[in-house]
Chains A and B, each alone.
Chain A
Amino acid sequence: MFSAKHITVRFLVLAASLAALLSLSGCSSDQENWNAKDISGLMPELAYQLTDTSGDMVTAEDSAGNIRLMFFGFTSCPDICPTTLQKLAQAVQKLPEDAQEDMQIIFVSVDPNRDTPERIKSYVDFFSDGIIGLTGEEENLRELSKRYRTTFGYEEPDDKGNYAVSHSGAVYVFDRNGKARLLVRPEQSMDALIADLTALANEGA
C-alpha cells in the first residue's frame, strides 16, 4: 500500500517533470522570425513524379538547387489560385535579380480530368514565364498531397459539367536542398512574403 504522502510526492515529481518537458519543447523552437508558418522538421523533403506542360515525366530532382514554391490548384479555380499565383509571381519579380533566379514556382493541378498539359501551360504562362505547371494521374496526385498532409475533393458536376474542387490554399516552400521550410497562408501579405523569400535566398548565399 502507498500512503497518501507517497502519492502526493510522486504526483509533484511527475507534474514537475511534465512542466520541464513542456518548457524544453517551447525553448527548442527556431528563433528566426518568419512571417509564414515554420514547418521545418514537420514534413518530409520535396519528392514527386508528375507530368510537366510538355507532357514529360519530371521529378523534384529536376529543380534541385532552387528554392521551390509549390502550390496546389486547378485552372478553372475562380479565386484563390489566380490570386496566389499572381502574388507569388509579383513577389519573385520584386526580389533582387540573383535571388529571382533562385526561385522556382511550381503549380500542381489536382484536376487532371479537365487540366491538360496544354491548358496548364497557357494558364501558368499568363502569370509568369518561369512557372512549372504539373499534373498527373489522380493516384500520383493523391500520393503527393498525402505526403504534405493536404487533400483535394470534387463537387458533383452541374448540368454544364462544371464543378468546384477543394484544395489547399497554402504555398509550400522548400529550400535548395528540398527541405520543407515554410507554409505561406493565403492571407499573408506581399511584403511579408517578400521578406521571407529574401531571408531564405540569403541563407548560405
Chain B
Amino acid sequence: MAVYSAFAAVDGTGAAAYRLFVMAARWIEASPKGIYVRPADAWIDPSVPVERALVTHGHADHARGGHGTSWATPETLAIMALRYGDIAGVPVAYGETVSLGPVDISYVPAGHVLGSAQILLEHAGERVVVTGDYKRRDDPTCAPFEPVPCDVLVTEATFGLPVFRHPPIGQEIDRLLGALHAAPERCVLVGAYALGKAQRVIAELRAHGHADPIYIHGALERMCDLYRDFGVELGELYPATAASAEQLRGKVVLCPPSALNDRWSRRLPDPITAMASGWMRVRQRARQKNVELPLVISDHADWDELTATIREVAPSEIWVTHGREEALVHWCGLHQMQARALALVGYEDEDEG
C-alpha cells in the first residue's frame, strides 16, 4: 500500500476533501494503515504487520501481531504476549525515553487501560503527542492520564459528539448494585470488554464495598490474572462455568459483550443483562443489544474531556483520528484552533469488537 504524503482531511466546515497541507511536523505522515514516523522508520499502532511498531496500548485493534519489533510499556508487551505468544518487544516504562534514529520517543500514561500510553515524539525542535485511546476519569486499574504540552496533538475521538457525557462511575456502580440487591434470586450479567473494562468494573465494585465472589466468563480469566500480576487487586474471582445456577443467584457475573445474549448465558439464573459501555448513553444502542441495565462506563474520554484536554494541552495543531472526527474538528474551528481529521482505518469503536 502506498504511503500518502498528504492527509485525507476534513476542514473546519465539516466538508470532507482530500488535499495537501502545509503543516507542522512534516516528518510524520498518516496513511490509512497508521501513523508513520519517517525519521525513525517506525509506525504507531499500525493495522498491518511492520518492521518497527510503537504501540500505545494492548487492545487488539491497536496492538496487532506480526510486527518485527514492538516498542511499548512493559504492561502492554505482557498483554500482547498473552494474545500473540512470544513477540519481539522493547519495553519502555512510563517516563523513559528511547531514541530511534533522530527521534526521541517517550511513553506517558493515558489512563485508558493497564499499560496504556500516549506517545511523545520529539524531533527537529517539534513535540508531537499521539494520545492513543485515553480518558481523564479515575481508574483504580491504571495510571492516570498526564497532559503533555506539545505542538501537535493527535487525539482520538471515539466519543467525539456533544451527546456523550459519561456520568460519574460511582453512580453507575450504585445502579448495578441496586439492581443486584433488588432481585436476589437473579444475577446481574455484565457485558464488559475483556481487557480493561472488566477489571475496572471489578475494581470499582470492590471499592464500593462489594466483597462477594464475582464470577467471570472464561475469556476474562487470563487477562484478570495478568492484571493481578501487575498488582491490581480484584478480590475473589471464580469461573462462571464451574458454578451452579444456585451459587450464581444474587451474584455479579462478567462476560465479554459478545457472550451477553449467547448460549453461554442460558446456564445463569434469570440474568439481568447489563452492559458497561459509553454507547449505553444512547437508548437505541442499548435496546439493540437487548440490554436491560445499561451502564454508562467508558474507558474513553467523553466530549467534555476531549475538549478540555485540547484546551489544556493547547497545541498549535490538532489532528483527529478514529471516531467521530468531524464534530471535534468543527469544534476546534469554532474555537480558532487548527485541526484536521486523519482518515485511518482498522480501528474499532469501543466494545464493537
A and B interact? no
